A and B are shown apart, each in its own frame.
Chain A
Amino acid sequence: MTKRFKTGYRIGVILLAIIITMLLGAVILWAIGADVFKTYMVILTEPLKNKIGVTEVLLRMVPLTIIALGITVAYRSGIINIGAEGQMAMGILATTAIALAFPNLPSGVLIPFAILAGMVGGAAWGFIPGFLKAKLEVSELLSTVMLNYIAAQLYTFFLRGPMLDPAELTMGSGTPQSMRLTRNLDLTRFIPGTRIHSGLFIAIGLAVLIFLLLWKTSYGYKMRAAGASERAARYGGINVPKYLIIAMMISGGFAGIAGSIEIAGVHRRAIEGVTSGYGFSGIVVALFGGLHPAGILPAAFFFGLLIYGADMTQRLVGVPANMVQVLQGIIILVIVATKMVLANPYLMQRVESKFAAIAAKRSNLEVQA
């Protein structure tokens, strides 16, 4: 098989995958009577037309990156973590608790402390499914989903009860949210007039960290080995359950960090709806980024664009923002199918022989003519 054919085949398959994704999305758009082309244009270009738009996309990129990095660690170790949403919520609760308890600590101490607390909160929530999988063979797909629902209830409980903004009590509107957290927790917004904050650099730093961890250290090696072939790893003396739990705690910890940073950088108080959808979007980003930090950064930007763009479609072309979830679902399905197509030598051989047959026929015709 020629190298040229292989490259062409890969590009062809990927192009086909993109077209199929757009077409499937178009079916849904058509069903609600939207202008398909215009909708795609709004989603993909509208946010990039001004400074605010670009920074808002970058703003969404931050938690997407961090969560996707965590999901990558888990996925590479053989666990699919769909519990990032719950872990993020636990991270927010921990951060909020620290900020409420120590409002007077200087920023230089409080911010790392609060983010660390968020990480611990998320890691603790990630430990549960990791432990259940490693020791009791409980499917992490089910346990993490259930823990999402449980975390959502815990979150509401704290925001309605112990952490409720005292002002809400006196004013009486009863919105479940904490008070405005101490300004010492605020992450710097480095472009005036926009909301983009220094969390972006933390996200990039964490991407480098995860790259080093997974590919340059013996810990990463063992985690990847456990994920790539659990059996061979065990035979090679790797304590697979231990690394499953560690991977899940890192994964949860990262979701927790993402939660802390959202609070410290964007919302500045714990409110409802901070986590919504990030857990599942994080999976899409991780897969789309090829489960590698270098791919995740651009993938997170792309999905930040999609999410922010979808918000705009509601206003500009009357397409509900739920459309972004539809697209994400389709993208997952298309990515996993495409990966299998690319990895299938039988199919490639069949396509090649088809091409060869066509080429032969054509050259025959040319000879005859």
Chain B
Amino acid sequence: MTFIVNILSLGIPFSVALLIASLGEMFNQRSGIFNLGCEGMMAMGAFLGMLVPYTIGQGADVPGIYNYLGLLLASGVGALLGLFFGLVVVTFRAPQGIAGIGMQMFGVGTAGTLFRHFIGGTQSVPGINTAPIPGLSKIPILGTLFFNHNPMVYVAFLFVPIAWYILFKTPWGLRVRAVGTHPRAADSIGIQVNKVRFQALAVGGALAGLAGAYLSLCQVKMFSDEIIAGRGFIAVALVYFGHWHPVKIMAGALLFALAQALQLAIQGLGIDFPYEFLVMLPYALVIVVLAFSRKSQKTGPSALGKPFNREIRT
């Protein structure tokens, strides 16, 4: 029993980076943009998030506030990277898959370069600590599971209904869905397709940056070149798995985080089993899930990956 509770209470905070990043990717894809650069944006977020408390935050009166400034900076730069990506794939209409690889290399490379200059070796930060919710966290088992996490965990799960509301109940969400499915129709009715796509990319980039900063400030509490470890790519896969729907994406993020927690817990048990095979598990799971997830044409953004050009008929 405690073993299961341990895995679950470990898995929930693990899911946060995936959850935030894939909600961002969901907005990108719903608007028709396949953003494989998510990994790079997360890397930049992870570095910048940590940079603020590590440099100006050290020895300050209220060090905690600098963590949040770090999160803010990470989201802001993430949004800028999203817009930069938009310049390449929306304005210039470059193929999105390969451009995403460029974005990923640019982000990971820049984070690594800046990290070596501004921080150097392995340095850790105090980061954002657990904030048990008074009262609720005292409930046996449930308290440990759901109410004894760092504040960003609560925020991330709040993002799920918010993302749902924005996507399905606001005019902006309507526009995003329209330009991702039938951009020509949206255009014919006076919606600026590329503008909406840029907006969605900014939102997606901001969330990717935030997800990265979560890793360096709340989960690992330090930066390394391998900190993202493919989470950006998994986030992209989760959006397919979750059929572009926030709730299903949350389920996917939890599934992968639990796989990771399970993997760590088994390693912790000290069973004589090559740990490499356990580390592989979440990655292999992605492939299996992609292979067997239902290909849905009716709900998905059917213009995904296709640049919009009013003057060229398809």
Contact = CB atoms under 8 A, between A and B. Distances in A.
Answer yes or no: do A and B interact: yes
A146 interface: yes
A329 B99 contact: no
Interface stretch (A54-62, A132-140, A251-259): A132-140
A147 B286 CA distance: 10
Interface stretch (B56-64, B184-192, B233-241): B233-241
Contact of B98 (A327, A330, A332): A332
Interface in B228-284: 229-230, 233-234, 236-237, 240, 274, 276-277, 279-280, 283-284
Contacts of A145: 230, 233
Interface string A330-343: 11110011011100
Interface residues of B, number: 50
Identify which of A154, A326, A331 gathers the most chain B CB atoms within 10 Å of its CB: A326
Contacts of B230: 145-146, 149
Nearest to B40: A329
A320 B117 contact: yes
Interface stretch (B101-109, B133-141, B171-179): B101-109
A320 B113 contact: yes
Contacts of A80: 97-98, 101
Contact of B116 (A283, A320, A328, A331): A320
Q: Interface residue tally of chain A, by bracket?
A: 35 or more
A143 interface: yes
A325 interface: yes
Given A149-B230, A156-B276, A332 B92 contact: no
Contact of B102 (A138, A319, A330, A341): A330
Contacts of A346: 311
B88 A329 contact: no
Interface stretch (B14-22, B211-219, B287-295): B287-295
Contact of A322 (B113, B280, B292): B113
Interface string B102-133: 11111111101110111000000000000000
A296 to B, nearest CB: 16
B116 A142 contact: no
The 8 A-B pairs at the shortest CB distance, nearest first, are namely: A329-B106, A332-B102, A325-B109, A329-B105, A322-B112, A336-B94, A326-B109, A32-B117
Given A132-B287, A142-B240, 17 more contacts: A31-B117, A32-B117, A142-B237, A142-B287, A146-B237, A150-B280, A153-B276, A153-B279, A320-B113, A325-B109, A325-B113, A328-B102, A329-B102, A332-B102, A333-B94, A333-B99, A336-B98
7 contacts: A137-B295, A143-B290, A153-B280, A161-B274, A328-B105, A332-B98, A340-B94
